[in-house]
């Protein structure tokens, strides 16, 4: 079960954190995985060196639309597209700058849409494709200092439902995996603050933050042949935080 031999996969933002855990598991299950970093090939290579299986390292800053096109040129077509990379700014709503709005929408939403546009034609031709976007529990419980980030994730969920329906006749599934609070480099500083951390954990029914490896099996299911009848859903991996 969950054998990905013969499949190719791109996991954006797989140089660390959740993306790295996803890439690690997809490679272990037999896929050839493109490990992606925003700008440092060395960083992608460091991550890939810890993975078992077939990996190829690529770079591209998704804040730059030209580099989104460049990423497709580096990988060629893939069977499994995991749009995991995101940018997140913490700022009270009335301080959010136009630049912060643009970068978050570009990386989290526009680049995701463009990557789907680039990779889907071949998936349609092959009659097989798996698109998995990485959302957030903030789709349901938005943090007051991350309004644009939360909105960008809701916008992607709308794409998942819209495109999931359109691509279903072609053997292409489109799903979202929404993590709750997962201990990664992104939130290491915030969670190191004991008082803040205590408040956050109080909002998680399971009482603790997840690990990156908690998210990867959910993506594997959605990427696999076994997940072929699942499309247009949000698979929430959050220790009950959404409830
Ligand atoms: N951690 C959580 O608690 C949590 C909760 C809910 C949702 N999520 C979502 O889960 C996903 C992964 O989160 P994470 O915590 O693992 O994040 P992370 O530790 O901050 O890692 C982010 C990854 O995205 C890449 N990235 C960032 N900006 C980029 C850009 N402009 N262009 C291309 N790549 C870029 C980074 O590459 P470089 O390092 O090479 O720059 C890195 O590989 C994100 O979509 C996030 O929104 C996380």
Please return the burial class of 207, using the count of CB atoms within 10 Å of its CB with bins 0-12, 13-18 and 19+.
exposed
Going 162 to 165 to 169 to 174, the CA torsion angle's sign is positive
Tokens matching residue 140: 């349901």
Q: What is the pLDDT of residue 236?
A: 98
Q: Is the residue at 69 inside a domain?
A: yes
Report how far residue 81's alpha carbon sits from residue 79's, in angstroms, rounded to the nearest whole number.
Answer: 7
Q: Is residue 229 annotated as part of the catalytic site, yes or no?
A: no
Cβ–ligand 1 distance for 134 under 6 Å, the answer yes
Q: What is the pLDDT of residue 205?
A: 98
Confidence of residue 125 (pLDDT cuts 50, 70, 90): very high
Q: Is the residue at 45 inside a domain?
A: yes
Q: Is the residue at 136 inside a domain?
A: yes
Report the CATH number that the domain containing residue 126 is assigned in CATH: 3.40.50.720
Q: What is the mean pLDDT of residues 150-163?
A: 98
Q: What is the pLDDT of residue 200?
A: 95
Name the percent of the chain lying above pLDDT 90: 100
Q: Is the residue at 162 inside a domain?
A: yes
The domain containing residue 173 runs over which residues?
Answer: 8-237
Q: Is the residue at 60 inside a domain?
A: yes
Q: Is the residue at 78 inside a domain?
A: yes
pLDDT digits (tens, 9 = 90+) for 101-120: 999 999 999 999 999 999 99
How much distance in Å is there from the Cα of 225 to the middle of ligand 1? 26
Q: What is the pLDDT of residue 241?
A: 98
Q: What is the mean pLDDT of residues 111-135?
A: 99
Residue burial 4-17, b: 16+ Cβ < 10 Å; e: rest: beebbbbbbbbbbb
Mean pLDDT of the chain: 98
Cβ–ligand 1 distance for 84 under 6 Å, the answer yes
Q: Is the residue at 15 inside a domain?
A: yes
Name the percent of the chain lying above pLDDT 70: 100
Q: What is the pLDDT of residue 88?
A: 98
How much distance in Å is there from the Cα of 184 to the middle of ligand 1? 9
Q: Are 80 and 122 in contact (CB under 8 A)?
A: no
Confidence of residue 2 (pLDDT cuts 50, 70, 90): very high
Cβ–ligand 1 distance for 175 under 6 Å, the answer no
Name the residue of 14, 19, 87 to mutate for ligand 1: max ligand atoms within 8 A of Cβ: 19
Confidence of residue 45 (pLDDT cuts 50, 70, 90): very high
Of 100, 121, 102, nearest to 110 by C-alpha is 102
How many folded domains does the chain comprise?
1
Cβ–ligand 1 distance for 242 under 6 Å, the answer no
Q: Is the residue at 221 inside a domain?
A: yes
């Amino acid at each position: 079960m969950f054998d990905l031999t013969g499949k190719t996969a791109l996991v954006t933002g797989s140089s660390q954190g959740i993306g790295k855990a996803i890439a690690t598991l997809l490679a272990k299950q037999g896929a050839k995985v493109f490990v992606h970093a925003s700008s440092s090939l060395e960083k992608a290579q460091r991550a890939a060196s810890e993975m078992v299986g077939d990996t190829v390292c690529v770079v591209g800053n998704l804040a730059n639309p030209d580099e989104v096109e460049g990423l497709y040129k580096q990988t060629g077509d893939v069977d499994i597209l995991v749009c995991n990379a995101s940018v997140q700014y913490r700022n009270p709503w009335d301080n959010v700058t136009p630049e912060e709005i643009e970068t978050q929408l570009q990386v989290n939403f526009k680049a995701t849409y463009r990557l789907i546009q680039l990779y889907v034609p071949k998936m349609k031709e092959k009659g097989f494709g798996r698109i998995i976007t990485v959302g957030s529990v903030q789709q349901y419980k938005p943090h007051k200092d991350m309004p644009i980030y939360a909105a960008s994730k809701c916008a992607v969920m709308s794409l998942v439902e819209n495109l999931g329906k359109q691509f279903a006749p072609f053997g292409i599934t489109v799903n979202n995996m929404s993590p709750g609070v997962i201990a990664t480099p992104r939130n290491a500083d915030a969670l190191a603050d004991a008082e803040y951390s205590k408040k956050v954990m109080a909002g998680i029914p399971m009482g603790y933050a997840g690990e990156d490896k908690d998210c990867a099996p959910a993506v594997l299911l959605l990427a696999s042949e076994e997940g072929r009848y699942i499309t247009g859903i949000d698979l929430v991996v959050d220790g009950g935080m959404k409830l």
